[in-house]
Amino acid sequence: MKNIRRSFLKLLGFSYLSAILLPYNLAHSAAKKIINPNLTEEQKKIMLDQATEKPFSSPLNFEKRKGFFHCANCDAKLFSSDAKFDSGTGWPSFSESLPGAFKTTIDYSFGMKRIEYYCANCGVHHGHVFDDGPTSTQKKFCSNGLCLIFKPEI
């Protein structure tokens, strides 16, 4: 009996949260702006519908030069190469973003609670950030490489 009550309360808490978050999520998706007319269907799926690229598919996993990673949609500067590390997840990963580059929201999809981050300038989805990073920031930004453009320092 106790268990049933507990799962009921859990369910209640969950729907309560979704009720709060839903209008916010709707507002958030409306705020996404496509700026780059040359985005591919795959990029749009990730940026607008929070799809995830296949792990180990991005050439940016191997990018080791100095420079900056920009938003593939609006060109905003998002990460410095100094913050890049190999997380072993198969997605380009960073210990921190440039100040003000992203905004975050809680993502409850797939029965998980994750922190989604999206471009503060154009609103498109970029990835999820976790608290188990190996550096002093303890952050691990797992980025979809298709959302990023790397510009090496000249």
Which positions are catalytic?
142
Q: Please identify, using beta-carbon distances, which residue of 37 and 88 lies nearer to Zn ion.
A: 37
Q: Please identify, using beta-carbon distances, which residue of 95 and 121 lies nearer to Zn ion.
A: 121
Q: What are phi and psi of 142, to 5 degrees?
A: -95, 110
Q: In this structure, are residues 129 and 117 in contact, taking their beta carbons and an 8 Å threshold?
A: yes
By CB under 5 A, which span of 36-44, 119-127, 129-137, 138-146 interacts with Zn ion? 119-127
Closest contact distance (angstroms) between CB of 10 and Zn ion is 36
Q: 109 by DSSP, 3-state: which?
A: helix
The footprint of Zn ion on this chain (CB under 5 A) covers a number of residues equal to: 7
Structure tokens that stand for 101 in this block: 């580059």
Closest contact distance (angstroms) between CB of 97 and Zn ion is 12
One-letter amino acid at 56 equals: F
Among residues 46, 60, 83, 119, which is the contact residue for Zn ion, using CB under 5 A? 119
Closest contact distance (angstroms) between CB of 26 and Zn ion is 20
- What count of Cα atoms within 13 Å lies in the side-chain half-sphere of residue 50? 15
Q: Please identify, using beta-carbon distances, which residue of 122 and 142 lies nearer to Zn ion.
A: 122
Structure tokens that stand for 111 in this block: 């029965």
Which residues lie closer than 8 Å to 67 by C-beta, 6 or more apart? 81, 150, 151, 152, 153
Rule CB under 5 A: is residue 122 a binding residue for Zn ion? yes
Closest contact distance (angstroms) between CB of 12 and Zn ion is 37
Among positions 80-109, residues that touch Zn ion (CB under 5 A) are none
Q: In this structure, are residues 104 and 129 in contact, taking their beta carbons and an 8 Å threshold?
A: yes
Among positions 26-85, residues that touch Zn ion (CB under 5 A) are 71, 73-74, 76
Q: In this structure, are residues 69 and 75 in contact, taking their beta carbons and an 8 Å threshold?
A: no
**Residues in contact with Zn ion by the rule CB under 5 A:** 71, 73-74, 76, 119, 121-122
